[in-house]
Amino acid sequence: MRAYIIRRLALLIPTVIMVSVMIFFLLRLLPGDIVDALQQISLDITVDRAQIEEALGLDKPLVVQYGRWVGVVPQADGSLSGVIQGDLGYSWLNKIAVAKLVSLKWPVTFQLGLMALLIAQMIALPIGIYSAIRQDTMGDYIGRSFAILCISVPSFWLATMIIVFPSIWWGHMPPIMLVRFTKDPIGNLEMFIIPAIVLGMVMSGGTMRFTRTMMLEVLRQDYVRTAWAKGLRERVVVMRHTLKNALIPIATIIGLQMRILIGGTVIIEEIFNLPGMGRLIIRATQWRDYPLMMGLMLIFAFVLVLVNLMTDLTYAYLDPRVRYK
């Protein structure tokens, strides 16, 4: 197990290098830059493009810019500072270090993502298990229809409807000012619960369907039939003999949902005015704030790689037959 973890962590290095190259050069393909954005809002002010590009280092070749960002090419002052040294750069828009800005924003995204992930599993696993053990009953049909509904409804549409219709009918809108959990736990949960439910419902549909499928497959195994023949109670058969084996592929699906979760937080944070990393990357994209965009996307990629590693390690717990050598 230890050797496997070391090997997987070692693979992070080439993975992060490839991701950094793709992030840097693909972002440069976007039309316009921060100078164009400044010109659009400063119609009555002359913007010296050459001076701004020189100050931001945009006048240098792309290879040099990438080397400076990574930290293998000296900066203009001769120092080496970049991703390798733990420096994600300096946000042109916010006039603050990217690492400092991320430290202020990540708790919001983390709380929203964690609550959405928990809500998704609280919805998906019970309904998926019930649909499997009550196959082709009315409850099964309702559960399958609800799963299809969750898959089909876009999160941005559902979030918009939740904001618009209550405000029209009852004059009520969700809180739009962030309340820290340490100051007011109840107020904090009131602000996060609706966005988390919206994001959780969208994520739960696929897990719900997959849980039902895997439970049905395991329920048809010979050892489960033997457990039924022994007269064991339904709860024992389902929880002890069926669910744990069915959770192995389900864990993979939950791990893969992190990509949906990251993309969903970008949209949900913007709609519900949550000042997290998702909303921050939208602002960075609008202003072509390259250091901020690259830093955020690199962090998201790093988190996805770590989640995949944790998902693989979960197999050994769910199935003792799995051995990592």
pLDDT digits (tens, 9 = 90+) for 230-276: 888 878 888 877 877 787 777 777 777 777 777 778 888 888 888 88
Structural domains of the chain sorted by starting position, each given as residue range(s) with its CATH number in brackets: 34-87 (no CATH), 98-318 (1.10.3720.10)
The mean predicted confidence, pLDDT, of the chain is 82
**pLDDT class of 142 with cuts at 50, 70, 90:** very high
Q: Give the pLDDT score at 61.
A: 85
**pLDDT class of 5 with cuts at 50, 70, 90:** confident
Q: Give the pLDDT score at 39.
A: 65
Q: Give the pLDDT score at 320.
A: 64
Q: How many angstroms separate the CA atoms of 157 and 151, rounded?
A: 13
- In single-letter form, the type of residue at position 41 comes to I
Higher pLDDT, 191 or 45: 191
Beta bridge partners of 97: 90
Higher pLDDT, 255 or 105: 105
One DSSP character per residue, 116-169 reads: HHHHHHHHHHHHHHHHHHTTTSHHHHHHHHHHHHHHHS-HHHHHHHHHHHHHHH
Which residues, 6+ apart, have CB-to-CB distance to 320 below 8 Å? none
Which residues, 6+ apart, have CB-to-CB distance to 293 below 8 Å? 23, 27, 281, 284, 285
Which residues, 6+ apart, have CB-to-CB distance to 48 below 8 Å? none
